[in-house]
């Protein structure tokens, strides 16, 4: 095994110091002289047409600079999900629309000299509505008589997928299951914020946003304002977590519009209520899975059908739904597959991007189904999976590309052993025989995720490196650190190649003015794709330095070795030249700077493997579920920063617990009101609820990734919820698949049932 200097070493996130000392300046911390503050007014009807907006009193309030509403803003549509300038998107959203489509939707904005004044002015605005019948549920919205929310009806079909023929697939056993997943909020600690400053003297707009795609934001805003892209600069600001909520362009068009109109520096910071209601939520989804299985447990066919509630605007939902299907065959070998899906617009808050983009949904539907199949066929869930998993480099049939060096089998076998699966299984059975208040169960699930965009789109990853006079290094890369330490991962990659200390490397995050083009940091591609680009860029610049060193030392570059910032002759180690001397020779004698711009296109998309094993205790009197122990086994290739990987795994377990047991944003079925708008009422798994979780990294290197690395950011959450669901069902002998399994849901299931 290769000896690395910093790769694989446990070093903390490079922002940690700034964060714990409160010195990192998030967008909401930014201040400037004369900065204006924006606040939004929320609509009070679930569906209606605005007859009139009366802003007179608000405008009369001292300190108010402007009031915006459907009365005075352009009738131009844009799309929050757009990334590429040429992307075909639904384009249904306006800054303010006369047609109000959900309760709490923004109907006006006030810009004032303080946020307090802006908030007060919002209250002084009166809006008259003509109310329309609202369709809150998917069933209501899909009904023939439902009023269309947009010109093209409420139901949007997603292209279906067929492989083989499920209908004629053989297999002695037929199973059918239905799962429901509720809406969730992302729970990013930082609420959404955006600052936009327009400089009239240069006709230039600068936007600061803790986003996942500066180029996506720029294409949307520049086109909306009709400004040349070159004059709109988007800077990625520090981000207090995303989990998908920073993936779309939400606050930027409105903030930028106000900044441009007022020729000012304008800031908009969401409250927690706005963060929940006015960003997007995780889709609520109903899915049906059918399967045909042979006697020996091999899968002959799978059919999956799902319906997603898009909320009031379509945005990314069609792509999100189709991604569920695209991820259907990344884990198991299935000769016959059918997938169909539809999304429905309803008069409820918008649903959209969420961590794992469909992987969680796909895994919940599929793994719940397999675990039910195992219960009904009396098969062990690990054994069942061992019979059906893909081998390394096998072709996944949806995209017809190899899955790469992925080790499902090792995850299952090691996980079974380390978790003591068989022993725990026996112990649970034994304890349950006592028929007391508490019941115990075990469950597991298996999942995968992507490492790049390939072949969904061309994965463009660029890095620019410049050696400075003292041998230190500046790198520009279109990276968006979500707060999880990807900047540190890039620095480690550069440090490993350049053999210089991390403190000598400055890595600039995405900034449309200084970075080469990048779609953005999602699909868990950052380390795999951008990391590879940084690695190649550093290798190249080191080669350029070697050539210069050879010229300076008057020898062939083939004679030179490199170690710790110095080139030297292997035969005569006293003949040496350091990086600062190389750059000095390059500039002073050769008249050239040493820099390199590198673009890579990932031509592979290696899968990662994740197996989660868990044991639960269910209180049959109160319905409360406690995670007694859990183990996450991950094949993520080489771990660049293992302790941050373990932290990520913990975050996945925490979020997966919420998904399975408690997190749900409830919408009132009649009024369409979002009933949970704060963390007091939003139930999440707290630190004290987390078990002393165990992690196991299987570090089989992936040749196409930097130092063998693949991805980790999203897959960590994917198998957690279905494993917990399986464990609860194992404990109670139930088949519960409507999430979350709250105490009320569990007691309802136990009502009248003797467990």
Partner 1 sequence: MSTEYLQPKSWGELKEDLQRLTEKSVILAGGTDLMPKIRSGKKEPDLYLSLCRMEELKAIDRQGEWLKIGAMAAHTQASEDPFIRKYFTALAMACSQVGSQQIRNKGTLGGSLANASPAGDIMPCIFLYGGKIEILGENGIRSVDAESFLLENGCTLLGRNELITSILLPLEEERKSCFVKLGSRREVTIAQISLCISWKEEDNEKKDMKGFIGAVDIRPVEFEKAYLLGENSEESREEAAAWLADKIRGIRSNRTRESKLKITEAEKLYKERAVKGIVFDAADWIERESTFHTGKKGEGKL
Nearer to partner 1, 552 or 736 (CB): 736
Provide the minimum distance between the beta carbon of 752 and partner 1 in the complex, in angstroms, as a whole number: 11
Which stretch, 34-42, 420-428, 514-522, 743-751, contacts partner 1 (CB under 8 A)?
743-751
Residue numbers 475-534 binding partner 1 by CB under 8 A? none
Provide the minimum distance between the beta carbon of 650 and partner 1 in the complex, in angstroms, as a whole number: 18
437 makes contact with partner 1 (CB under 8 A)? yes
Provide the minimum distance between the beta carbon of 62 and partner 1 in the complex, in angstroms, as a whole number: 13
Provide the minimum distance between the beta carbon of 670 and partner 1 in the complex, in angstroms, as a whole number: 10
736 makes contact with partner 1 (CB under 8 A)? no
Provide the minimum distance between the beta carbon of 272 and partner 1 in the complex, in angstroms, as a whole number: 10
Nearer to partner 1, 135 or 341 (CB): 135
Out of 144, 168, 751, 754, point to the residue binding partner 1 (CB under 8 A): 751
How many angstroms separate the Cα of 398 from the Cα of each of 94, 338, 404? 36, 11, 15
Nearer to partner 1, 393 or 621 (CB): 621
Provide the minimum distance between the beta carbon of 172 and partner 1 in the complex, in angstroms, as a whole number: 37
Provide the minimum distance between the beta carbon of 314 and partner 1 in the complex, in angstroms, as a whole number: 26
**Cα maximum dimension of the chain:** 89
Provide the minimum distance between the beta carbon of 58 and partner 1 in the complex, in angstroms, as a whole number: 16
Nearest alpha-carbon partner for 244 in 321, 358, 355, 360? 355
743 makes contact with partner 1 (CB under 8 A)? yes
Which stretch, 249-257, 530-538, 569-577, 739-747, contacts partner 1 (CB under 8 A)?
739-747
- Helix-helix angle 531-553:579-588, to 10 degrees: 70
286 makes contact with partner 1 (CB under 8 A)? no
647 makes contact with partner 1 (CB under 8 A)? no
How many Cα atoms sit within 13 Å of 388 on the Cβ side? 28
Nearer to partner 1, 189 or 200 (CB): 189
Nearest alpha-carbon partner for 613 in 626, 629, 625? 629
- Round to whole Å and give the CA distance between 689 and 465: 45
Nearer to partner 1, 24 or 624 (CB): 624
Which stretch, 104-112, 357-365, 728-736, 744-752, contacts partner 1 (CB under 8 A)?
744-752
Cβ-Cβ contacts under 8 Å for 25 (sequence gap 6 or more): 237, 238
Tokens of 503: 């403190």
CA 647, chain centre distance (Å): 16
Nearer to partner 1, 226 or 752 (CB): 752
Provide the minimum distance between the beta carbon of 136 and partner 1 in the complex, in angstroms, as a whole number: 12
Provide the minimum distance between the beta carbon of 687 and partner 1 in the complex, in angstroms, as a whole number: 9
33 makes contact with partner 1 (CB under 8 A)? no
Provide the minimum distance between the beta carbon of 688 and partner 1 in the complex, in angstroms, as a whole number: 4
Find tokens 């400004």 and name the residue. Answer: 227
- Round to whole Å and give the CA distance between 539 and 535: 6
- Round to whole Å and give the CA distance between 730 and 426: 12
Alpha helices by DSSP H, listed for 332-477, are 359-377, 381-388, 408-419, 421-433
Burial-class residue 570 by CB neighbours within 10 Å (0-12, 13-18, 19+). exposed
Sheet containing 64-69: order of strands: 64-69, 106-112, 36-42, 265-269, 193-199, 204-209, 232-236
Provide the minimum distance between the beta carbon of 89 and partner 1 in the complex, in angstroms, as a whole number: 34
User: Can you give the three-state secondary structure of 55-76, one letter per residue?
Assistant: CHHHHHCCCEEEEEECCCCCCC
Nearer to partner 1, 295 or 680 (CB): 680
Nearer to partner 1, 487 or 746 (CB): 746
Phi, psi of 632 (to 5 degrees): -110, 125
Alpha helices by DSSP H, listed for 436-477, are none
Provide the minimum distance between the beta carbon of 122 and partner 1 in the complex, in angstroms, as a whole number: 11
Task: Say how many C-beta atoms besides its own lie within 10 A of residue 573's C-beta.
Answer: 11
626 makes contact with partner 1 (CB under 8 A)? yes
Residue numbers 218-257 binding partner 1 by CB under 8 A? none
Residue numbers 532-561 binding partner 1 by CB under 8 A? none
Find tokens 């009024």 and name the residue. Answer: 671
Nearer to partner 1, 123 or 426 (CB): 123
Task: Say how many C-beta atoms besides its own lie within 10 A of residue 601's C-beta.
Answer: 13
Provide the minimum distance between the beta carbon of 683 and partner 1 in the complex, in angstroms, as a whole number: 5
Phi, psi of 23 (to 5 degrees): -95, -15
Nearer to partner 1, 589 or 671 (CB): 671
Per-residue mark of binding to partner 1, 75-114 (x: CB under 8 A): ----------------------------------------
> How many residues comprise the chain?
755
434 makes contact with partner 1 (CB under 8 A)? no
How many angstroms separate the Cα of 572 from the Cα of each of 374, 499, 559? 68, 21, 10
Residue numbers 602-621 binding partner 1 by CB under 8 A? 619, 621
Nearer to partner 1, 592 or 622 (CB): 622
58 makes contact with partner 1 (CB under 8 A)? no
- Round to whole Å and give the CA distance between 339 and 305: 6
Cβ-Cβ contacts under 8 Å for 697 (sequence gap 6 or more): 634, 635, 636, 639, 642, 645, 646
Provide the minimum distance between the beta carbon of 375 and partner 1 in the complex, in angstroms, as a whole number: 23
Out of 144, 189, 200, 744, point to the residue binding partner 1 (CB under 8 A): 744
3-state helix, strand, coil split of the chain in percent (to 5) is 30, 25, 45
Pairing of strands 64-69, 473-477: unpaired
140 makes contact with partner 1 (CB under 8 A)? no
CA 153, chain centre distance (Å): 29
Provide the minimum distance between the beta carbon of 681 and partner 1 in the complex, in angstroms, as a whole number: 6
Nearer to partner 1, 595 or 679 (CB): 679
200 makes contact with partner 1 (CB under 8 A)? no
Counting residues that bind partner 1 (by CB under 8 A) gives 28
739 makes contact with partner 1 (CB under 8 A)? no
187 makes contact with partner 1 (CB under 8 A)? no
Nearest alpha-carbon partner for 298 in 161, 167, 173? 173
Give the DSSP per-residue string, 590-630: S----EEEEEEEE-----EEEEEEEEEEEETTT--EEEEEE
Nearest alpha-carbon partner for 518 in 594, 588, 460, 597? 460
- Round to whole Å and give the CA distance between 631 and 641: 19
Nearer to partner 1, 477 or 665 (CB): 665
3-state secondary structure of 306: strand
Phi, psi of 59 (to 5 degrees): -65, -25
Provide the minimum distance between the beta carbon of 455 and partner 1 in the complex, in angstroms, as a whole number: 43
Per-residue mark of binding to partner 1, 655-694 (x: CB under 8 A): -------x---x-xx-----xx---xx-x-xx-xx-----
Provide the minimum distance between the beta carbon of 121 and partner 1 in the complex, in angstroms, as a whole number: 13
748 makes contact with partner 1 (CB under 8 A)? yes
Per-residue mark of binding to partner 1, 107-136 (x: CB under 8 A): ------------x-----------------
Tell me 276's DSSP state: H
Residues that bind partner 1 (CB under 8 A): 119, 437, 619, 621-624, 626, 662, 666, 668-669, 675-676, 680-681, 683, 685-686, 688-689, 742-745, 747-748, 751
């Amino acid at each position: 095994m290769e000896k690395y200097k910093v790769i694989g070493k446990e070093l903390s996130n490079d922002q940690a110091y700034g964060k714990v000392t409160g010195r990192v300046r998030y967008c909401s911390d930014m201040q400037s002289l004369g900065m204006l503050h924006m606040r939004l007014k929320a609509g009070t009807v679930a569906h209606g047409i605005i007859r009139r907006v009366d802003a007179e009193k608000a405008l009369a309030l001292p300190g108010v600079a402007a009031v915006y509403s459907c009365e005075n803003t352009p009738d131009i549509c844009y799309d929050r999900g757009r990334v590429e300038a040429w992307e075909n998107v639904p384009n249904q959203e306006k800054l303010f629309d006369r047609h109000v489509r959900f309760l709490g939707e923004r109907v006006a904005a006030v810009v004032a000299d303080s946020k307090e004044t802006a908030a007060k002015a919002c209250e002084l605005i009166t809006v008259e509505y003509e109310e329309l019948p609202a369709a809150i549920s998917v069933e209501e919205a899909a009904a023939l008589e439902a009023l269309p929310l947009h010109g093209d009806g409420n139901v949007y079909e997603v292209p279906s997928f067929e492989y083989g023929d499920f209908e004629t697939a053989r297999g002695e056993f037929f199973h059918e299951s239905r799962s429901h997943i509720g809406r969730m909020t992302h729970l990013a600690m930082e609420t959404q914020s955006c600052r936009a400053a327009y400089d009239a003297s240069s006709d230039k707009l600068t936007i600061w946003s803790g986003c996942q795609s500066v180029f996506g934001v720029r294409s949307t805003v520049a086109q909306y304002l009709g400004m040349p892209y070159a004059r709109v600069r988007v800077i990625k600001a520090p981000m207090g977590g995303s989990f998908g909520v920073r993936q779309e362009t939400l606050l930027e068009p409105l903030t930028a519009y106000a900044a441009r109109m007022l020729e000012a520096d304008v800031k908009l910071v969401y409250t927690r209520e706005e963060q929940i209601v006015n960003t997007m939520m995780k889709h609520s989804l109903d899915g049906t899975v059918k399967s045909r299985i042979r006697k020996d447990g091999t899968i002959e066919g799978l059919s999956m059908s799902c319906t997603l509630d898009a909320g009031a605007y379509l945005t990314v939902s069609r792509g999100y739904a189709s991604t569920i299907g695209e991820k259907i065959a990344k884990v198991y070998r299935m000769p016959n597959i059918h997938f169909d899906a539809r999304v429905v617009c309803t008069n409820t808050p918008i649903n959209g991007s969420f961590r794992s983009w469909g992987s969680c949904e796909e895994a919940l539907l599929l793994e719940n189904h397999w675990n039910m199949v195992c219960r009904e066929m009396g098969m062990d869930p690990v054994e069942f999976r061992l019979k059906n998993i893909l081998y390394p480099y096998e072709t996944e049939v949806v995209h017809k590309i190899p899955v790469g060096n992925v080790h499902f089998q090792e995850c299952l076998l090691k996980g079974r052993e380390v978790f003591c699966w068989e022993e725990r299984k026996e112990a649970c059975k034994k304890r349950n025989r006592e028929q007391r208040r508490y019941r115990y169960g075990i469950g597991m699930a298996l999942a995968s995720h992507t490492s790049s965009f390939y072949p969904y789109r061309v994965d463009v990853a660029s890095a620019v490196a410049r050696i400075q006079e003292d041998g230190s290094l500046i790198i520009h890369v279109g990276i968006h650190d979500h707060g999880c330490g990807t900047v540190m991962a890039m620095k480690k990659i550069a440090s490993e190649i350049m053999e210089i200390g991390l403190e000598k490397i400055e890595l600039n995050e995405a900034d449309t003015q200084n970075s080469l083009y990048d779609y953005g940091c999602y699909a868990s591609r950052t380390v795999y794709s951008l990391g590879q680009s940084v690695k190649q860029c550093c290798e190249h610049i080191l080669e350029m330095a070697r050539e210069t060193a050879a010229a300076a030392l008057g020898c062939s570059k083939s004679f030179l070795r490199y170690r710790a910032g110095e080139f030297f002759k292997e035969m005569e180690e006293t003949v040496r030249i350091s990086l600062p001397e190389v750059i000095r020779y390059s500039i002073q004698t050769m008249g050239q700077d040493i820099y390199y711009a590198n673009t890579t296109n990932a031509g592979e998309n290696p899968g990662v493997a994740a197996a989660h094993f868990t044991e639960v205790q269910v209180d049959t009197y109160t319905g409360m579920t406690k995670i007694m122990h859990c183990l996450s086994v991950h094949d993520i290739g080489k771990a660049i920063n293992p302790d941050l990987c373990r932290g990520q795994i913990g975050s996945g377990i925490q979020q997966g617990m919420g998904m399975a047991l408690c997190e749900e944003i409830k919408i009132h079925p009649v009024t369409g009101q979002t009933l949970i708008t704060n963390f007091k009422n939003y139930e999440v798994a707290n630190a004290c609820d987390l078990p002393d979780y165990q992690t196991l990294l299987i570090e089989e290197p992936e040749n196409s990734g930097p130092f063998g690395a693949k991805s980790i950011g999203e897959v960590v959450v994917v198998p957690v919820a279905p494993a917990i669901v399986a464990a609860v069902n194992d404990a109670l002998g139930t088949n519960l698949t409507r999430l979350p399994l709250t105490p009320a849901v569990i007691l309802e299931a136990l009502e009248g049932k003797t467990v």
